[in-house]
Amino acid sequence: MTARLDEARAVDVKSRSRICDEVSDALLAAGTVPPFEVRSADLVNDPYFICADRYWRSRFQQQPTVRTALECARWMTDHVRDESWGVVAEQWALGNGFLNRASADPERRVAEEAEEAGTGRDAERISLFLSLYHAGKLRANFSFDELHAFLAFSPSAVAAGSLRDEHSVFGALQAFAAFGSRTLTVAYASELLEQAWSSPRRTRHTVDICLHGLAFAPPFDGQGQLLRGHAEEAVQEYPDDHMFRARLAAGLHLCGQHTEALQSIDTALALLAASPTASLSVLQDQYLTKRDAIQEGRLRALQDAEQQRRWEEQSAANAQLERALHTSSVRAVEVVAVFTAAIAFAVGSLQVTLTGKIPLTDRLWLLAAQGAGLALFALLIVGGTWLITRSHHPRGRRTE
């Protein structure tokens, strides 16, 4: 068995995966746990970790109970190196919890199994593993309030002791539960998120759960900007991670940046296709669904932009027509005033002219006085019209 796993180091990825499957199946058939040591959490190049991962995944699928999680945690205390224990625990507890989410144990059963762990550092590790396994199921089922209560008050979570603070993924799960809860505030959830995100012990699973919580939280102000900012940081840290590219696409979509979101989800699909360990069928369907939503949002944005353009053009045309009608009305009043004054002057001057008893000089002065009066009358009418309507002119110029 050791020789076959050592041989798997020098072959290609597909051959390595096949050898690990064969060794894992042989162990399952013999009813024997893996006898070798796991030194890393490399799911691509380390055949020992790959084989152990396949073995325990099959065990969880056969019996997806907290009892299996207890047996796995006990095996890890003897076969996983300390420097890799935390990453392996997160990978197996959360991953198998997600895969077996349909069969969640009651919290009482989790507490009973945690009591068998005893005391000491190994007992804290076992309790943490059991808590993460059960929390992984609650997270996968979006049981936000139940998850929040479990992490805060369950005996198994409390028994993890100081490891709760050492593993930032624990805080990330609390933030995930708070964002999805209908009873906890967004401010509280955001505080938990920042504590987990800024932890010096932040792991890839911490990043994943934080982004998951932001992406699936009920809508709140600033959600898109918050998700986009954290996803951009995650992509910089893990540029080849298809999941974080998909989260970035979701954040860009919420911010209305549909073109950038489409590019990001296409990158996620390309990275997913090139990944030798990803479950193509499930994740590809999710990414394609998100891509369709982004496409619809992009099309709707284009339609809204065209409608907005037409509305602005119509508003400008209406404003121009209003100004034209207003100007015409003012000019009509001015013309009527001048025309009325002209008629009055003509009639008055005719009467003066036809009256023969008044001397010519007096007639000229009378005509001049009458003309001046009528001209003043017309000027008053025109000036008054201008004073009444002048407030409309600046507004019309701004509309242009």
- Contact predicate 247/211, CB 8 Å: yes
Burial class (CB in 10 A: 0-12, 13-18, 19+), 370: middle
DSSP for residue 12: -
- Per-residue model confidence as pLDDT tens digits over 379-394: 776 676 666 666 555 4
Tokens of 327: 């100007």
For residue 303, the one-letter residue type is Q
Cα 363 to chain centroid, rounded: 90
Q: What does each C-alpha distance from 116 to 124, 133, 186 come to in angstroms?
A: 11, 16, 38
User: Shortest CA distance to 48 belongs to which of 59, 63, 56, 37?
Assistant: 37
Selection from 223, 289, 212 nearest residue 255 by Cα: 223
Alpha carbon dihedral 182, 183, 187, 191, in 10-degree steps, equals -100
Alpha helices by DSSP H, listed for 63-167, are: 66-79, 82-99, 107-115, 121-140, 144-153, 155-159, 163-166
CA gyration radius for the chain?
40
Cα atoms in the 13 Å half-sphere on the side-chain side of 134: 27
Alpha-carbon distances of 115 from 24, 126, 283, rounded to whole Å: 30, 10, 37
pLDDT, tens digit only, all 400 positions of the chain: 889 999 999 999 889 999 999 999 999 999 999 999 999 999 889 999 999 999 999 999 999 999 999 999 999 999 999 899 999 999 999 999 999 999 888 888 888 888 877 666 788 999 999 999 999 999 999 999 999 999 999 998 988 888 888 899 999 999 999 999 989 999 999 999 999 999 999 999 999 999 999 999 999 999 999 999 999 999 999 999 999 999 999 999 999 899 999 999 999 999 998 876 656 667 888 899 999 999 888 787 666 666 777 777 777 777 777 776 666 666 666 666 666 666 665 555 555 555 556 666 766 666 677 667 767 766 776 676 666 666 555 444 444 3
Q: Return the amino acid letter for 133.
A: Y
Q: At what angle do helices 47-62 and 66-79 cross, to 10 degrees?
A: 160
d(CA 136, CA 120): 24
Q: Which of 232, 236, 233, 190 is nearest to 213 (CA)?
A: 190
The pLDDT tens digits of the residues spanning 68-121 come to 999 999 999 999 998 999 999 999 999 999 999 998 888 888 888 888 776 667
Cα separation of 284 and 278, whole Å? 10
78 within 8 A of 122, measured Cβ to Cβ? no
pTM of the model: 0.75
Is the torsion defined by CA of 365, 370, 374, 377 positive or negative?
positive
> How far apart (Å, rounded) are the C-alpha atoms in residues 67 and 63?
8
Question: Under a CB-based contact definition with an 8 Å cutoff, are residues 370 and 345 in contact?
Answer: yes
> In three state form, how does the secondary structure of 181-232 look?
CCCCCHHHHHHHHHHHHCCCCCCHHHHHHHHHHHHHCCCCCCHHHHHHHHHH
pLDDT value of position 398: 42
pLDDT of residue 397: 44
Q: What is the pLDDT of residue 370?
A: 64
CB neighbours of residue 198 within 10 Å:
9
